[in-house]
Structure 1
Amino acid sequence: MIPSPPISAISLGPLTLYFYAVCILAGIGVALWWATKRWEARGGNGDDLFDIVFVAVFAGIIGARIWHVLTSPAPFFGPGGDPVSALYIWEGGLAIYGAVAGGALAVYLMARAKGVSFTALADTIAPTLMVAQAIGRLGNWFNQELYGPPTDLPWGWDITCVTNGDRIGGCEPGTYHPTFLYEQLWLLAGMALLLFLSRRLHLAGGRVFWAYVAIYSTGRAFIDAIRSEPVLMVGPLRIHTLVAIVMAVVAVAVLVALTMRKQKRGGEVVAADGSFQWPDPAAEPSGPGSGPTAAGAGTDRGSGPISPQR
């Protein structure tokens, strides 16, 4: 079975280093490095991307925490709850849909400020979000959280409910389904599938991002349904399960709509370097703000280019 770590933090003088936070930051670091490589390969400016992601990270963390507190209010506002603990993000409790919403809003505003395509940014960042999430989920292992019902399967997770010598409140020792691990594996498999589809089908114009939402949400709906931590319920469904189902349906609908629009207007072609071309000079629209260079300079027509064709 999967053991539980005996500690979730270490003290460095007056500072306490929480492994949950380390995992979150490590995921952000890897995602930023990879996103920068992808952005520069498309002709984008790495410094611009850093500025955009820097703001998006803070907005994403705030959004993730707000969503968690709103959907799991009992520990903060229920009987015996501590409202101030809503600020203690290092203790765990960041909801991915809140992070994506907050981060996406920040990316949109920063993209307009920088004069680059929001859809190009979304498509560039989408696969890197999955690796960031997978790394971040390791923090749940250190915190002994996000597990499912009891199990006697060989990969069951042995929850001790003790970390750093202290008992974890509301925890019952036992062997449970490691839903954090299930989500990690789904994210890594989904990332491979997303990269395959984006290259094989030449996805552009925001379709990479919506494919990410569809892939992640589909797996999340099934995995979240067996998680056991208390959360806001909507009828028989956990709020996160319901949101995942809705997002999966919305993402598929948007993908279909974008694909139909692409086919209706003749389609875009994305070159091997990630740049954008109209398939036929006759199909290129005329007028101000049109054409490949303008598309990357600040509009959302297509997923690129983000620099003039070379």
Structure 2
Amino acid sequence: MNALLPLAIPSPSTGVWHLGPFPLRAYAFAILLGIVAALWLTRRRWVERGGDADTTLEVAFWAVPFGIVGGRIYHVITSPDAYFGVGGDPIRALYIWEGGLGIWGAVAFGAVGAWIGCHRQGVRLAPWGDALAPGLLVAQAIGRLGNWFNQELFGGPTTLPWGLRIDAAHMPVGDPAGTLYHPTFLYEMLWCLAGAALLVWIDRRFQLGHGRVFLLYIVVYTTGRLWIELLRIDPAELILGLRINVWTSIIVGLGALVAFVVVGRRHPGRDTTLLLAPPTVQDDEEIATDSAR
């Protein structure tokens, strides 16, 4: 094991810096950078589909806060011991900056926020979700850097040369000094980035629409999350001996795959319109008048 240490991935010495009395947390920066990257890519893809560039920010204004709240709620529900178990501190459930956002809560609540935003902008949710899907994977990839800085959510011990070095304060009790762990943050980063590239290629190659790119995002992500989750050793709720996120990945992934096939048979190709309602004659006349001005 010690012979592999020079090749091991080091963990950052700190995940928090201070600007006077204000803490600057790497986890928060990773989340924010992921959101910015997702919005940039979504905006480009939305415009390519014929949408208005400003729509992306307007929808994100609703989707992002909803997603963060939903992600935190899912994390607390699926990992309750740190907050409501023996020695737990319920108030820490509000400390998002310490880490802990469950992707499925973020997706579910974020979808509600996106629906509100899309409805207010007069556009359909499905094509906007298709534009978002690759960017969402990029955001998740960048967000995993926060876990690296926090030295959390790593996998079991490994003798592989790319094992992750963890400080003694964050190592599981009983593991000898020098133990290396699977860098699950890195596995998920690479999987998500490869998945984002795959979605972009498939979308352009087969002209997917009607929410199928987003459904394919779910299939791609759950496939990776399934085997990565099986490597992790952080505390988690178990159902029939498996972590709850393993079951979630199986059920949600299979459901998305079935929906992908069904929607593809009913609605092949791209969406014929991005709007909730077609423009009226009066709208066309106003647009023509504005252009003449």
Which of 212, 217, 235 is 1:207 aligned to? 212
Matched, 1:189 2:194: yes
> How many angstroms does 1:169 deviate by?
8.7
Cα separation, 1, equivalents of 2:27 and 2:275? 39
Aligned sequence identity (%): 47
Cα separation, 2, equivalents of 1:234 and 1:180? 24
Equivalent residue number for residue 305 of structure 1: none
Q: Is the 8 A contact 2:152 2:170 kept in 1?
A: no
Matched, 1:60 2:38: no
Cα separation, 1, equivalents of 2:87 and 2:50? 54
Which of 74, 86, 97 is 1:90 aligned to? 97
Which runs of 5 or more structure 1 residues have no equivalent in the other structure?
162-166, 271-275, 277-291, 301-307
Tell me the SS of whatever aligns to 1:296. coil
Matched, 1:244 2:266: no
Cα separation, 2, equivalents of 1:188 and 1:297? 30
Tell me the SS of whatever aligns to 1:86. helix
Tell me the SS of whatever aligns to 2:142. helix
> How many angstroms does 1:229 deviate by?
0.4
Matched, 1:175 2:180: yes
Which of 2, 16, 19 is 2:9 aligned to? 2
CA distance change for structure 1 residues 87 and 175 in 2, over 3 Å: closer, same or farther?
same
* Offset from partner CA, 1:172-191 (integer Å, 9 cap, x none): 66311111111111111111
Cα separation, 1, equivalents of 2:148 and 2:183? 9
* Offset from partner CA, 1:124-158 (integer Å, 9 cap, x none): 00010010000000111000011111011100001
Q: CA RMSD in A?
A: 1.8
> How many angstroms does 1:109 deviate by?
1.8
Cα separation, 2, equivalents of 1:136 and 1:205? 28
> How many angstroms does 1:170 deviate by?
6.2
Which of 79, 100, 123 is 2:86 aligned to? 79
> How many angstroms does 1:40 deviate by?
2.0
Q: Is the 8 A contact 1:31 1:129 kept in 2?
A: yes
* Offset from partner CA, 1:78-99 (integer Å, 9 cap, x none): 0110000011111111111111
Amino acid at match of 2:25: Y
Equivalent residue number for residue 229 of structure 2: 224
> How many angstroms does 1:41 deviate by?
2.4
> How many angstroms does 1:168 deviate by?
4.4
Which runs of 5 or more structure 2 residues have no equivalent in the other structure?
1-7, 279-286, 288-293
Cα separation, 2, equivalents of 1:33 and 1:127? 11
Which of 149, 153, 156 is 2:156 aligned to? 149
Amino acid at match of 1:226: L
Which of 67, 91, 100 is 2:107 aligned to? 100
Aligned length: 269
Q: TM-score, normalised by structure 2?
A: 0.88
Matched, 1:44 2:51: yes
Q: Is the 8 A contact 1:62 1:99 kept in 2?
A: yes
Normalized per residue, the structure richer in helix is 2
> How many angstroms does 1:236 deviate by?
1.2
Q: Is the 8 A contact 2:61 2:117 kept in 1?
A: no
> How many angstroms does 1:45 deviate by?
2.0
CA distance change for structure 1 residues 97 and 299 in 2, over 3 Å: closer, same or farther?
farther
Cα separation, 2, equivalents of 1:193 and 1:61? 26
Matched, 1:158 2:136: no
Amino acid at match of 1:297: L
Amino acid at match of 2:26: F
Q: Is the 8 A contact 1:118 1:299 kept in 2?
A: no
Cα separation, 2, equivalents of 1:204 and 1:82? 45
